[in-house]
Every structure is written in structure tokens, then in C-alpha cells.
Chains A and B, each alone.
Chain A
Amino acid sequence: MDSPTVALHESSHGEHPSYQRHHFVSMAQQKESASFGMWLFLLTEIMFFGGMFTAYLVYRNWYYPAFVAGSHTLSIVLGTTNTGVLITSSFTMAMGVWCAETRRRGGLILSLILTLVLGLAFLGIKSVEYHEKWVQHHVPGLRFDAMTFVHPKAEPGQAAEPPLPLDMAQHTEVYFSLYFAMTGMHALHMIIGMGLLVYMLIQAIRGAYDNGNIAFIENFGLYWHFVDIVWIFLFPLLYLISRHQ
């Protein structure tokens, strides 16, 4: 890897910064390559989640009543809060990228910390929701009971959900399978992202980004916004199915 770098025949704009890799002709080329590569990686992520969205579309059309009933067991308050939290974290990350671009180290550190905190808040709320599902026997495979949909109990102060026939009630397991697969995969991406956030925070505090070598932050920003976009679709698809019924 540390093969002798060849002196470039001619360099169009003076000296090269130390962080330019030897096989790139110019810094612009290195930057473009990095963000293009990141976008291609995000395409693979689109297709990765795409498989689950296809499954969702098929089963939602087949088992619509089960999807409505399953969706109504989710807390709209927690879901909306989480959406707000994630959008805000996307905003703080965008600000982090801006601070890095304009070489504001303090602002960058603050933005990264805020993003990290908001990410943790998201996962905290998510785990409260998961725990609730576990208590209610709504975890497919491990701990599942469709009877709550056949004989729904009225929450205090609310009308009971309409009961489902037994076969449709059992299909709520498909809804919850997709719910856990999609939100779980999303949460996994969040956890990976937070690991990277911690790494960037340490680097930022050490001043590693002060010299303008911020490709990592910019590309991480793209990743974090992508995770946000996935949630932007998951939220209405999972939480907001016919709330009026």
C-alpha cells in the first residue's frame, strides 16, 4: 500500500494535499470518486430494502384487515416522536457537514454529539416499542399470539378495535414479521451509523478534519440521510394504515 508514489508528470494546480491518495490525479477526482462510490453503495441499500418493500406491498394487498389491526397496535405518539427525532438528527448531521466544509471544529463536534444523542433517543424509543410488542405477544416466531385480534380488549377511554376472523387474525403475524424485519434492519443501520459517529467524534476532537479532508464526514452524511429516508417511508407504511377506522 505504501508503494513509492510516482512523481506526477505535471500537476495542474500546484502542490497536492497530503491526504490525496497516490493513484488519483487530482483532489477533485478523489472527492468525486468517493461520493460517487458512496452513492453506488446507497443504490445497493435501496435494493436491499426494496426486497422488503416488495414483500410489504404484496401482503398489504392480500391481508389488508390484518395490516390495519396490526398497525393500530403501534403507538402513534411514539412513532411520530421518533420520526421527528430522526429528521432532526438528519438536520444536525447536515449542519455537521456544513461546519466541516467551513472548517468550524466546535460546530462540527457539537453537531456530531447532537446527532449521536438523537440517534440514541431514536433507538431508545424503538426499544420501548419493541418491549411493548414482546409484552403483548406480538413478536412473530418467538412469542406470538393472534388471539388479541380475535377478542380485542378495549383500552380505557377508547372503543375496542373491531375483532378479526381467526384466519385473518393469524395473518397479523405476517404484518409483524415485516414490521420487525424492516424496522430491525433500519435499526441495525442506525447502530452501524452510530459506531461511525463515535469514530468521527473522536477524530473531530483530535482535529483530524481541520485540514479539509472531510470526505468521510460528507459520505457518512449521505448514509445517515439515507437511513432517514428509509424511515420516512417506513413510518406511514407501518404506523399510519387507516388510522380513522
Chain B
Amino acid sequence: MSSIVSLPDQSTARIPKRNYLTNENGILSWLLTGDHKRIAILYLISITFFFFIGGALAGLIRLELLTPQSDLMAADTYNKVFSMHGIVMIFLFLVPSVPATLGNFLIPIMVGAKDLAFPKINLLSWYLYMIGGCLTLWAMITGGVDTGWTFTTPLSTHYVNTNVVTTGLAIFIAGFASIFTGLNFIVTIHRMRAPGMTWFKLPLFVWSNYAASILMVLGTPVLAIALVLVVLERTIGIGVFDPTKGGDPLLFQHLFWFYSHPAVYIMILPGMGVISEVISTFSRKRVFGYSAVAFSSVAIAVFGFFVWEHHMFIMGVSNYSTLVFSLLTMLVAVPSAIKIFNWAFTLYKGSITFETPMLYAFGFMGLFTIGGLTGVFLGSSGTDIHLTETYFIVAHFHFVMVGGMLMAFLAGIHFWWPKLTGRMYPEKISQLAAVVTFIGFNFTFFPQFLLGMLGMPRRYAAYPPEFQVLNVFSTAGATILGVGYLLPILYLIWSLKYGKVAGNNPWQATGLEWQIQSPPLTENFIEIPVVTQDAYDYEWLERQKEREVTQVG
């Protein structure tokens, strides 16, 4: 595997004395910070914490499913475990994963600003997230919740007696954290771009986060009101979703999925942005069809609002609207495919190198394609009726969310780790981790496609014995996957002290964030840059380097 890591400025690089990490000291300088980079680090630590909680719950689920009987835990405990796994992973990990960490850190730098437009609201967002997260943990410790992450009525309002109210409020609060992040991004991208930084010079990471932010701002409040109405129904008994009073339980699902379908694009779009950056950098080429990729992000955001009913095809919605939503669902496949094809064309005749972020990005492309294509199966109302509520759907969204999003998140973390910390991660072991993750992932989730085709329903602690072989495969794969996720946290922490000093631009990438010191100054830029180059202009970078050499020499 060739590498471009050893470049001239690396051997002499030093960690700059003054940077955003050393600028101020003490715990309060972190808890009261307005610096987008520090808030990004706070978010990174918190979401990693919640990721491992969600991961531990996933481990329990797979252990229970090792045997056909419900023997490790009782069926109702199993319900609580998979509900909490979904709630923690979706609301507390996937939704904020890339935007609140890498997005928070990089978007102001990429557009050439000193900070996000509203630093205090950014900090408030983290506090809301933490309050929501702690309430969720509190709900879990004091008895859990067993509605699934979807809080489906009337189950959540009438038939279960678990901590629905606490969890509902927790998600309501965490939702506002996400709204504020999105709001901040939109204003920053519109209003704070550096002179010369036109829309079509923005890195694609900014475009995809912009699209995700639109969804956060416009979608999340609908989830909020749906949850408020559930909470009111449980506490004082108003009758908006209550069939005994004349309400329609399906209306809850309409409102819930109006957010929660776009929410999957909130989760995946920023990941797609990471992949664009990584693929371009490690094939040394401008992203093929830049404007097509940029607009496909916006198209995914817009179409994302037109398809939510495909989650409800078997719930008793009208056949005619099923037909319409099924057709509209096919629309979303188009911009997603545009992205995959354009990344493939970017690779074509590029000078490809295989650093860890690139390995994760390759993993993303393969797994996301499988996840996306199986989504077309599920969007077609005919096959959906057979496949929905089986392990096929579980495998489908884990291919998109874990195989796609988590791979993209890890690609991004490795790619920008030198910028975040000023130090390199160890290359060989991280390449190993990427490969282990890929293998473990396929072992875990591919058998679930087969299980779903055979008809194994989701959400049950026990299953008929003939499904056991594939379930054992899946659990074994989950163990490998677990190792794949534990490795990065170990060697990334190790690298904080012992990693090689990275220098400003270890990847020789073109983004504005790579032209400043690592870790950056608190104010990002000593003077606001004037942008003349296009995004991903590697010739411009060469010219810059030559100029520097002649000036210094």
C-alpha cells in the first residue's frame, strides 16, 4: 500500500504552541466555551460515550439471539433493550454524529469564517443534547421503555406502562439540540462565507451538511409536536391519537415519519459529504460532476419529504396513496445513485492511495450501495408487504446506517484527526481496524437479509430453531465488529500523546481547513482568506507549494 504521508513539512513539523486546545485552560473554559472547535470536541466525546452504550445494548441483543429460546433475558427485557438500542443510536449518536462533531469543527473553517454565526446557541445545543441524553439514560436505568424507537401509538399511549413520558421528553429536548445545530449551519453557510467563496467553490462536505440542516430545521419540530401529543395523551388523556375517543393512531405515524424518514437523510447526507472529501483527496482528483453531487444533496433533502408513507404501507393507509408514495420513493434512489456513480468516476484514472480514510470510504461505497438498493425493494409496495417487519428491513437500515454512516463517520474521524488533534493516528493498525470492521459488518448483517427473506420477524426475543445457523453467524460477526469499533478508540487515544506530529496538511488536500495550522487557532484564520481557487483544485495547491518553497528558500 503506497502512502503520501511522508512529505517534507511533516518531518520538521511541530505542534504550534498557541492553538484552540491550549488557548485557555481549566474545565470551565470548556464548559462555557463559544468556540465551535471545542464544542465539536465536547460533542465528539459525548456521542462516543452514547455510541458505546448503544453498542453494548446491541451486543446484548445479539447474545440473546444466539439461541432460539428467550433465555438470556425475558421477552419484555429484550423489548426494552432493543428499544433503547434504537433510541440511543438514532437520536443520540447517528443524528448528531457527523454534523455536530466534524461539521461543527469544519464548516466555519471551510467557508472561511472565524466561528459559527451563533456560538452561544451552539453551546446551548450541546447542553440540550446532554440533558436529552441524561434523561434517556435515566429512563433506561429506572425501568426502560419498550415501545421501540418509533413510540408507535396506541402501544405507547395505552398498552405499555414504561417510561414513555421521560423518554419522549428526552427526545424532544435532544431534537432541539439538532434544530439549533442545523439553524447555525444554514445561517453560517449563507451569511459568513469568506470573500470570493461562492456557492460552487464550497467543498461538498458543506453542501451535504447544508442539505441535512434544512431537514433538521424543517423536520424535527414535527417529531417534537408528535411526541408532545403522546406525552399529553399519557399524562392528561387528551384524545388526538386515541381510537377510543375517535382519534387516529395512524396520524401519529404520519407525523412521526414525516420527521423520521428525512431523519435518515439527516444521518446519511453529512456522511456522504465526508466521502466526497476523502475520495477526492486520495485519488488526487476533483470530484467528478461537482455540481451534480452538490445538487443531488439538495435533491435528496427535498425528495426526502415526499416519501415518508413507505414506512406505513402495511399499517392500513389507503392503497392509492401507497401507490403514489411508492413511486415517489423511487425518486430518492436517483440522487443517491448520482453520488455513487460520480464517486466511482472520480476514482477512474485517479492516483489512488489506500490510507485508512480511503478504506473506510470504499467500505461505505459498497455497503451503502447494497443498503440503498435493498431500500428500493422495500419502497416497492409489493415486495414491501412481504419483507417489512422482518430481518430484511433490519439488515437494510443497518447497511445504510452502520455500513454507510458509521463507516463515513470513521473515515471522517481518521481523515480529520490530524486537524483535530495535530497528531497522526497509527496507520497500519487503523488499516487493520477498517478491514476488521468491514468483515465483521458483513458477517453480522448479511445473514439478516437471508433471515428476512425466509420470514424471521424482527423485534422478538425467540425464534424458530431453523433460523439458528444464520443467527449464530450474525452474532459471531457482531463480535468481530465490536473489536473493529474498540480498536479505533484505543489507538486514537494512544495517538493523542504518542502519534506523529501531523503538520498543517498531511494529506496534501485542498480544503481551506488544510491551509491553516493543526490544531487551528481559536480564531481559525489570522486574516480572513480571499478565495480564488475552486474546490479540489490540486494544481492550485501545487502552485501554492512552489511559491512557498521559493519564498522560504
**Residues of chain A whose beta carbon lies under 8 Å from any beta carbon of chain B:** 1, 3-6, 8-9, 21-25, 29, 32-33, 36-37, 40-41, 43-45, 47-52, 54-55, 58-59, 62-63, 66, 140-142, 170-171, 173-174, 177-178, 180-181, 185
Known contacts A3-B24, A29-B191, A174-B239; decide if A23 and B222 are in contact (CB<8 Å): no
Instruction: Kindly list chain B residues whose C-beta atoms are within 8 Å of the C-beta of A58.
Output: 248, 251
Q: Which residues from B are CB-within-8-Å of A41? A: 183
User: Which residue of A is nearest B194, CB measured?
Assistant: A25
Kindly list chain B residues whose C-beta atoms are within 8 Å of the C-beta of A48: 221-222, 224-225
Residue with the highest number of chain A CB atoms closer than 10 Å, among B33, B233, B238, B522: B238
The residue on A at minimum CB distance from B247 is: A174
- Is the CB–CB distance between B239 and A40 below 8 Å? no
Cβ of B335 within 8 Å of any chain A Cβ, yes or no, is no
Interchain pairs with CB closer than 8 A, number: 140
A43–B229 alpha-carbon span in the complex (Å): 20
Q: Taking the complex as formed, is B548 at the interface, i.e. its CB lies under 8 A from any CB of chain A? A: no
Which residues of B from 150 to 180 have beta carbons under 8 Å from A? Answer: 179
Contact across chains for B23 and A3 when beta carbons are under 8 A apart: yes
Q: With the chains together, A201 CA to B220 CA distance in Å?
A: 33
The verdict on A62 contacting B226 (CB below 8 Å), with A44-B217, A142-B236 known, is: no
Please give the distance in Å from A164's CB to the nearest CB on chain B: 12
Residues of chain B with a CB closer than 8 A to A36's CB: 186-187, 190-191
A44 to B218, CA, bound (A): 6
Question: Bound state CA distance, A134 and B198, in angstroms?
Answer: 59
Residues of the A chain whose Cβ atoms lie less than 8 Å from the Cβ of B120: 1
A43 to B186, CA, bound (A): 13
Main secondary structure of the interface of A (DSSP, over half): helix
B255–A37 CB distance below 8 A: no
Supposing A1-B32, A50-B222, A140-B239 touch, asked if A170 and B190 sit within 8 A by C-beta, the answer is no
Stretch at the interface among B109-117, B360-368, B387-395: B109-117
Which residue of the partner chain B has the closest CB to A28?
B191
Residues of B within 8 A of A49 (CB): 225
5 A-B residue pairings within 8 Å (CB atoms): A1-B120, A3-B35, A6-B527, A36-B190, A40-B186
B187 A40 Cβ-Cβ under 8 A: yes
Q: Is the CB of B192 within 8 A of A44?
A: no
Tell whether, in the assembled complex, residue A52 and residue B225 are in contact, meaning their CB atoms are under 8 Å apart.
yes
Q: A142-B237, A174-B239 are in contact. Are A37 and B183 (CB under 8 A)?
A: yes
Task: Find residues 119-166 in chain B having any chain A CB closer than 8 Å to their own CB.
Answer: 119-121
Query: Which residues on A sit within 8 Å (CB–CB) of B222?
Result: 47-48, 50-51
> Given known contacts A23-B114, A37-B118, is B179 in contact with A44 (CB within 8 Å)?
yes
Q: Answer yes or no: B240 CB below 8 A from chain A CBs.
A: yes
Q: Which residues of A contact B255 (CB under 8 A)?
A: 51, 54-55
Q: Tell me the bound Cα distance from A41 to B523 in angstroms.
A: 27
Closest CB-CB distance, B237 to chain A, in whole Å? 3
Name which residue of chain A comes closest to B250, CB basis: A58
Closest Cβ of chain B: how far from A168's Cβ, in Å?
9
What's the nearest-Cβ distance from chain B to residue A22, in Å? 7
Q: Looking at the complex, which one of A5, A23, A178 makes contact with B119 (CB distance below 8 Å)?
A: A23
Mark B522-539 against chain A: 1 for CB-CB distance below 8 A, else 0. Answer: 110011100000000000
Q: How many angstroms between the C-alpha atoms of A35 and B255 in the bound complex?
A: 29
- Which B residues are in CB contact (< 8 Å) with A62? 246, 248
Alpha-carbon gap, A43 to B144, bound state (A): 34
Neighbouring A residues of B251 by C-beta, 8 Å: 54-55, 58
How far is B180's CA from A127's CA once the two chains are assembled, in angstroms? 32
CA distance A3 to B218 in the complex (A): 33
Asked whether B34 is an interface residue with its Cβ less than 8 Å from the other chain, the reply is: yes
Tell me the chain B residues, 326-383 only, with Cβ under 8 Å from chain A. none
CB distance from B267 to the nearest CB of A (A): 19
A6-B523, A59-B246 as given contacts; A141 in contact with B236, CB under 8 Å: yes
Instruction: Give the residues in chain B near A140, CB-CB below 8 Å.
Output: 236-239, 245
CA distance A8 to B187 in the complex (A): 22
Of A6, A44, A63, most B-chain CB atoms within 10 Å: A44
Which of A3, A9, A25 meets B522, CB within 8 Å? A3
Asked if B239 and A173 make an inter-chain contact with CB atoms under 8 angstroms apart, the answer reads yes
Q: Does B219 contact A (CB under 8 A)?
A: yes
